[in-house]
Amino acid sequence: MDFWRQTFTIAAKDLRAELRSKEAINASFSFALTILLLFSFAVGGGKDKYDSSADIAATVNGKIYLIGGRITANNIGGYAASNVDVVEEYNPATDSWRAMNRMPSARSGQGWATYQGKIYVAGGEHHDYHIEGVLRDVEVFDPAANDWYRLPALPTGRHGVNVAAFNGKLFVIGGHTVFAGGGGHALDSPLNEVFEFAPAGGRTN
């Protein structure tokens, strides 16, 4: 059964050992490739995209995916900025973009990780004229199927989280527990919440 496990601290040596693994090294290479490719088409005349902040730039199978974020203003506080649910794929081989199925929850300040060809999006923050706050949502994008599905929500809503995936587990670490950074560093989170995937590869929608 899929479930989350919450701890306040994780053994640093255990996490460092995991991050030294081949899979983690590949993930770091993927991140570096994303940055290099984004820089190359940004300065080289690639297609102009909307300005966004706190979005996702992930690579899967040699393609770049820009997911969510906010537009109009960098800071989510006030009503100048708007979150988006847009998902776009960039193919460096053809220097072309295409729109993909939208993320179920428009958000910014989220964390993400790639694992086994999928992009996992956790936490973040949202506001509109009715509500503002941090999110517990965990959503997964499968580029091959161009489809989204949900995992069980985080035990603790946070934005600005760090996310890593390794050995059948999804780690959601740190972040801030109040919308728009309210309360300052005193409300930064020390949490590490761990999702363990079902051995058979099942999923919870």
**β-pairing verdict for 63-67 and 132-134:** unpaired
Task: Give the whole-number percent of the chain exceeding pLDDT 70.
Answer: 64
Interatomic CA distance for residues 4 and 155, integer angstroms = 7
Asked whether 101 and 92 are in contact (CB, 8 A), the reply is no
Interatomic CA distance for residues 106 and 47, integer angstroms = 23
Say whether 110 sits in a helix, a strand or coil.
Answer: coil
* 17 pLDDT tier (thresholds 50, 70, 90): very low
- pTM, 2 dp: 0.71
Of 29-43, 70-84, 118-132, 186-200, give the lowest mean pLDDT range. 29-43
Interatomic CA distance for residues 113 and 120, integer angstroms = 5
Instruction: Please give the pLDDT value at position 78.
Output: 65
Nearest to 133 by CA among 172, 178, 103: 178
- Is the pLDDT confidence value at 4 over 70? no
- CATH (residue range 3-196): 2.120.10.80
Neighbours of 142 (CB within 10 A): 16
Query: Quick one: average pLDDT of 146-160?
Result: 92
Instruction: Please give the pLDDT value at position 55.
Output: 65
- Is the pLDDT confidence value at 52 over 60? no
Higher pLDDT pick, 5 / 196: 196
- Which helix (H) or strand (E) covers residue 43, if one does? helix 22-43
Instruction: Please give the pLDDT value at position 163.
Output: 94
Nearest to 100 by CA among 73, 76, 119: 119
Nearest to 97 by CA among 31, 53, 41: 41
Higher pLDDT pick, 142 / 49: 142
Q: Where are the domains of the chain?
A: 3-196
Asked whether 170 and 163 are in contact (CB, 8 A), the reply is yes
Interatomic CA distance for residues 62 and 143, integer angstroms = 11
Query: Quick one: average pLDDT of 20-25?
Result: 41
Asked whether 170 and 4 are in contact (CB, 8 A), the reply is no
Q: Which two tokens stand for residue 67?
A: 């997911």
* 199 pLDDT tier (thresholds 50, 70, 90): low
Say whether 26 sits in a helix, a strand or coil.
Answer: helix
